[in-house]
């Protein structure tokens, strides 16, 4: 079920009122989220502004893919989420693209969806773990109908880290939209212990790298899809190395 909610253009807004666990959105929680969302969005914006992107390698790949397609599939590892996201959202003011994010269909996910919306992103409600088929359907529809470039983290928050799972490749094959690998490197950062999420230190420098678009032929079979997964793993390692080298030069 997809509709526009009172807070704006949210896919699967049924999740705003009842989650898959049966928990409902109470009035108190709704008010709390409306108060918290602008505060959290402001903190994230301040963090992004304090860490300037001093170099972006491969921006010509963004221009090339947008000249050929109305939307695409940015892919980066889960640990690179924060500043690859910030870079893409900033590019919406310069390039004709809308950036979307798959967000859990939970009550806590509703807060994340409101924050993403305030930052200029397009929330797509679904969980690759618990509502995989629905998440794939909603992402596909956003990609094709709304021309949203849907961000995918192919290793996901649960890992295994740096393993390119098949979902992104399947979505690229079904949609005909290209995968575009990305990574960032920070001059100073902390790693969250349990999932190695990268948290750049305030006032550090950031380098972003974008790799060449990769389309997935609709005729290839299972073995071919596995090969694409392996190749995309290598591409994501390569773009990170490119970002690190660019930062050292900068």
Q: Supply the CATH number for residue 97's domain.
A: 3.40.1130
CA distance 78 to 246: 21
Dmax (CA) of the chain: 53
The CA-to-CA distance between both ends of the chain, in Å, stands at: 48
**Strand residues in the chain grouped as ranges (E):** 53-57, 73-75, 98-103, 122-125, 148-151, 179-186, 189-191, 198-200, 206-210
How far lies 86's CA from each of 6, 48, 94, 116, in Å? 25, 7, 14, 11
Domain with 145 in it? 13-249
Check residue 127 and give its pLDDT. Answer: 63
Check residue 99 and give its pLDDT. Answer: 98
8 in any annotated domain: no
1 in any annotated domain: no
3 in any annotated domain: no
Check residue 227 and give its pLDDT. Answer: 97
Check residue 17 and give its pLDDT. Answer: 42
Check residue 250 and give its pLDDT. Answer: 85
7 in any annotated domain: no
6 in any annotated domain: no
pLDDT less than 50: residues of the chain: 1-18
213 in any annotated domain: yes
Check residue 95 and give its pLDDT. Answer: 96
Q: Which of 127, 119, 125, 131 is nearest to 17 (CA)?
A: 125
- Counted domains in the chain: 1
Q: In the structure encoding, which two tokens stand for residue 161, read together? A: 């880290």
Check residue 53 and give its pLDDT. Answer: 97
Q: What is the pLDDT of residues 84-138, one digit of tens each?
A: 999 999 999 999 999 999 998 778 889 999 999 999 999 998 665 555 677 888 9
**Packing angle between helix 27-50 and helix 107-118, nearest 10 degrees?**
50
The answer to whether 157 touches 130, Cβ cutoff 8 Å, is no
């Amino acid at each position: 079920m997809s509709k526009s909610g009172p807070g704006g253009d949210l896919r699967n807004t049924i999740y705003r009122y009842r989650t898959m666990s049966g928990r409902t959105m109470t009035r108190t929680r709704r008010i709390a989220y409306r108060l918290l969302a602008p505060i959290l969005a402001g903190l994230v914006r301040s963090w992004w502004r304090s860490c300037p992107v001093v170099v972006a390698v491969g921006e010509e790949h963004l221009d090339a893919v947008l000249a050929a397609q109305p939307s695409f599939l940015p892919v980066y590892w889960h640990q690179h989420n924060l500043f690859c996201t910030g870079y893409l959202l900033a590019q919406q003011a310069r390039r004709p693209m809308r950036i979307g994010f798959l967000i859990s269909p939970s009550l806590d996910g509703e807060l994340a969806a409101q924050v993403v919306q305030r930052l200029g992103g397009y929330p797509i409600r679904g969980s690759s773990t618990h509502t995989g088929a629905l998440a794939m359907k909603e992402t596909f529809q956003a990609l094709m109908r709304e021309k949203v470039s849907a961000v995918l983290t192919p290793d996901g928050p649960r890992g295994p880290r740096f393993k390119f799972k098949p979902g992104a490749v399947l979505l690229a094959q079904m949609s005909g939209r290209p995968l575009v690998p990305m990574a960032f490197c920070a001059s100073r950062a902390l790693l969250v212990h349990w999932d190695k999420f990268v948290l750049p230190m305030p006032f550090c420098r950031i380098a972003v790298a974008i790799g060449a678009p990769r389309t997935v032929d609709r005729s290839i079979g299972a073995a071919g899809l596995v090969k694409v997964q392996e190749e995309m793993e290598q591409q994501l390692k390569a773009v990170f190395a490119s970002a690190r080298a660019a930062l050292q030069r900068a």
